[in-house]
A = this chain, B = another copy of it.
Amino acid sequence: MELYFLGTGAGVPSTERNVSALALRLDKPHETWLFDCGEATQHQLLKSPLSPMKIRRVFITHLHGDHVFGLPGFLSSRSLQGDANHRVTVYGPTGIEEFLRHALRHTSTHVRYGFDIVEFDPTTLHTTHLYEDDHIAITFAPLRHGIPTVGFLIREKEHPGALDAEKLRALGVAPGPQYGELKRGIDVTLEDGRTLKPDDFRKPNTPGRRVAILGDTAPCKEAVALARDADVLVHESTFSARDAAHAHQHHHSTARDAAQTALAANAKRLILTHISPRYHERANDPADLPIQLLQEARSIFANTDLAYDHFHAVIPRIVPSASH
């Protein structure tokens, strides 16, 4: 599992940051998921190691232009470049279908691969699995922004512990069909009459990873709830605490807000993104340097990074130490 930040700026592109897009590379299914698709996301993909063909699902947090204007072009170019077998499903708030269908129809764009749009009600409090398989599930929850906006929670399922071959060998049980039976959860009776219980020979399950990817939001308890115990929380940090009034007036968060949410949620790691172009590397006022946002957040939540375009972060699976 790896997060790859394609666009980390807010509102308008700058020479330093493109508008919003974030890719999540999964192990199982072997797919890349895209979160938001601001203008020129396909251009950012060209400069990245990611393959547009691997992107099979696109999740949209809200319908502001800096989060969706790249969608028609991405879908269109992917159609001209690749084979027709790789379906794409776009999941987005009510209105995404009309936006996309209009953009494609008015421009006579024919998407040659299978292409589905799944609309959801971004205000519902009912937990909905947008996608779920044996390995992973994704849900969303409403946040607080000027228009209906959600955050997504990607939850990997528990990974069953491997068979403890060492322990079995110590009991004189050699690898063979009995190992398979124990793996499948079947009791095994040895020739000497001893019965082996599968649970006694399985290493502890590895907990699934939790990744919370939030759309634009003012600080709110919904964000804390969604990010509860997340391995990684991706949170907007449009402004610094100095500009908190302005941030909240526009339903955005400061770096401090994001850090407080991460702390309250007991998240393990925080990655800040959606940075206003006000903060940039050549700013005259040191308070407007991006590192200011990072330091502000780290003073509250140490394990924080400030994303930049093409920043990527591997999310390790934490294998618990044996408990018996």
Interface of A toward B, CB cutoff 8 Å: 11-15, 18, 39-40, 42-43, 46-47, 63-66, 68-70, 72-73, 76-77, 80-81, 95, 98-99, 102-104, 106-109, 146-147
Contacts and interface: CB of A to CB of B under 8 A. Distances in A.
Contact of A107 (B68, B76, B104): B68
Contact of A69 (B11, B14, B47, B107): B107
B63 A108 contact: yes
Contacts of A77: 11-13
B80 A11 contact: yes
A141 to B, nearest CB: 21
A95 B103 CA distance: 11
Given A73-B39, A77-B12, A80-B11, A65 B109 contact: yes
The copy count of this chain in the complex is 2
A65 B109 CA distance: 7
A70 B73 CA distance: 9
A46 B107 contact: no
A65 B40 CA distance: 13
A-B residue pairs, 8 tightest by C-beta: A99-B106, A40-B40, A39-B73, A65-B107, A102-B102, A12-B77, A69-B73, A65-B76
B64 A107 contact: yes
A126 to B, nearest CB: 25
A72 B68 CA distance: 11
A65 B69 contact: no
